[in-house]
Structure 1
Amino acid sequence: MALALSATLHTSFPDAVERTRKALSDQGFGVLTEIDMQATLKAKLGEDMENYVILGACNPPLAHRAVTVDRQIGLLLPCNVVVRADPDDPERVVVDAMNPQMMVQVADQPGLAEVADDATAALRAAIDALKADATKN
C-alpha cells in the first residue's frame, strides 16, 4: 500500500502551497496546522533544507465519523499533506497527501474502512485537481 497520494507541480513553492490549500478546501478540508519544516529546522538545529511545509488538513464530517468508530484514531488526525520542493529540481514541487487507508491498516477497526474510503476519495480528488492544473500550465 502506498504511503501517499502524490502530485508533482511545475510552479513556485508559494503557488504550490496556495493551490494545495484551495484543492483541499474544494474537497471540504480545512487546514488546522501548518509546520514550516525549513524554518523550524533552521531555527532549532541550524540546519538548511529545501522548502517543506506540512499542512494538517481536516474534513470535520470525516473526522467525526472516524472518532465515533475509534476514539484513538485521533492519533492519526489530521490528515497530513506535505508540500515540498524537489531538492534535485528547483522547478518541481511535490505534494504528498497521507493515504487514509493507512488508518485502516493501523487501527484495524472494521467501521473505519468506509470512512477511509471516503477520505481517500476526497484527498484523491484534491490531488487529481492539482494534477489537472499542472497539465494546463
Structure 2
Amino acid sequence: MNFHYTVDSSKGMEETVSSLEQNLKEEKFGILWDFDLTGKLQEKGMDFNTPYRVLEVCNPAEANRVISKNKLVGYFLPCKIAVYEDNGQTKIGMPLPTTLIELADDPELTNIAKDIEERLIGCIDKSK
C-alpha cells in the first residue's frame, strides 16, 4: 500500500512553494503554516542542510465537514505537503488522505478524503 504521493518539480524551492500556494487557492485551500524544518533544526544545533519545508494546508469547509462527522479526524488535520530538495532535485509530496482516513473506518469519510486527495494531487501536479 502506498501512503504518499511525491513528484519531482522542475522549479526551485521558492518558485515551487509560490506556485503551490496559488494552485491551492484555486481549490480554496490556504497555507496555515509554512514550517522551515531546515531552519528549525539548525536553530536547535542540528547539522541538517537539506532545504525542507512542511506546508500545513486547509480548506475550512472540508475541515468542518469531516470534523463534524468524526472528531477523531482532527488528528489528521491540517493536511501536510512537503517541499524539499533531494540530490539537487526539488520534490513535492504528501501523505495520502485516503490512507490516513482508513483509520476512521467510515465509508462516507473515505469518499470525502478521496475527493480532497484528488484535488491536492491536482494542485501538486500543476505546481511541479
Q: TM above 0.5, one fold?
A: yes
- Segments of 5+ residues of structure 1 without an aligned counterpart are 132-137
> How far does the alpha carbon of each residue in 1:58-111 deviate from its partner, in whole angstroms, 9 at most, with x for none?
01111111101111111100000000011x2x2x20000221102322221232
Matches of 1:108 and 1:65 in 2, distance apart? 16
- Is the contact between residue 9 and residue 90 of structure 2 (CA under 8 Å) also seen in structure 1? yes
Residue 41 (1) aligns with residue 38 (2): no
Identity %: 26
Residue 20 (1) aligns with residue 17 (2): no
Matched ranges for 1:45-124 at <5 A: 45-86=45-86, 88=87, 90=88, 92-124=89-121
Matches of 1:27 and 1:2 in 2, distance apart? 24
Report SS of the residue matched to 2:53. Answer: strand
- Is the contact between residue 102 and residue 110 of structure 2 (CA under 8 Å) also seen in structure 1? no
Matches of 2:74 and 2:108 in 1, distance apart? 15
Question: Structure 2-normalised TM-score?
Answer: 0.91
